[in-house]
Amino acid sequence: MPEIKLKIKVLGDSVLRKKAKLVGRITDEHRRVLSQMAKAMYDHSGIGLAAPQVGQSLQLIVVDIGEGLYKLVNPKIVKSRGCQSISEGCLSVPGVCVKVKRAKQVWVQAQDENSRFLEIAAKDLFACVLQHEIDHLKGKLIVDYASFLDKLRIKRKLALLRDKTKAAKLL
């Protein structure tokens, strides 16, 4: 099967605001999508990517903060602790950073691409990235965390992104 280059969806694309569907039985197609997502993440110098960001409304994420690649199916946070505030960027909101308050530690349950059940304990940046990507599966973006002042600061950039998305759909 030929490899298809996945395109990153940006703010204004409706798929980013939909709740992603749970994956039932993990198939070769899911494994192929996860591999292509990892390639897209690396190609864009990202450290995480969720399936909705490439137009797939499925609960799939890939994460690599420099300690190895995780391909996760149906990830969910089962426990969290502490608090941290990190300035986050997002491949789907290019050029925008928002300070986001998140748990400092999380425990995530998921399956890997071979249907094995995992429980991952993560802290600091790894915890932040997992929470960020799991937010995408719920239709939530970093701009939803923006303070009133941040929203004023990034308003013009967000409007330009939405306009580009609308124009691209007309082509």
CA distance 159 to 83: 31
73's enclosing H/E stretch is strand 70-81
What gap in Å lies between CA 43 and CA 19, rounded to an integer? 26
How far out from the chain centre does Cα 28 lie?
Answer: 21
d(CA 129, CA 159): 25
Could you confirm whether 67 is annotated as catalytic? no
Residues 6+ apart with CB under 8 A from 41: 47, 48, 49, 62, 64, 91
Instruction: Write b or e for each residue in 4-37: b if 16 or more Cβ atoms lie within 10 A of its Cβ, otherwise e.
Output: eebebbbbbbebbeeebeebeebeeebbebbebb
Q: Which residues are catalytic?
A: 133
